[in-house]
Amino acid sequence: MGIGRHCNKLFIIDFGLAKKYRDSRTRIHIPFRDNKNLTGTARYASINAHMGIEQSRRDDMESLGYVLMYFNRGNLPWQGLKAANKKQKYEKISEKKMSTPVEILCKGFPSEFSMYLNYCRGLRFDEAPDYMYLRQLFRILFRTLNHQYDYTFDWTLLKQKATMNNPNTSVTNQTDGAGASVQPQQ
* 186 residues of the chain, pLDDT tens digit each: 777 777 777 777 766 667 788 888 999 998 888 888 887 889 999 999 999 999 999 999 999 999 999 999 999 999 999 999 999 999 999 999 999 999 999 999 999 999 999 999 999 999 999 999 999 999 999 999 998 878 777 777 777 777 788 766 554 444 333 433 333 333
**What does the pLDDT read at residue 181?**
35
Chain segment 9-25, per-residue pLDDT in tens: 777 776 666 778 888 89
**What does the pLDDT read at residue 167?**
67
* Own/partner long-range contacts of 123-127 (Cβ < 8 Å, ≥24 apart): 123/57, 123/58, 123/61, 124/58, 125/29, 125/32, 125/53, 125/54, 125/56, 125/58, 126/29, 126/32, 126/56, 127/57, 127/58
- pTM for the complete prediction? 0.78
Structural domains of the chain ordered from first start: 4-182 (1.10.510.10)
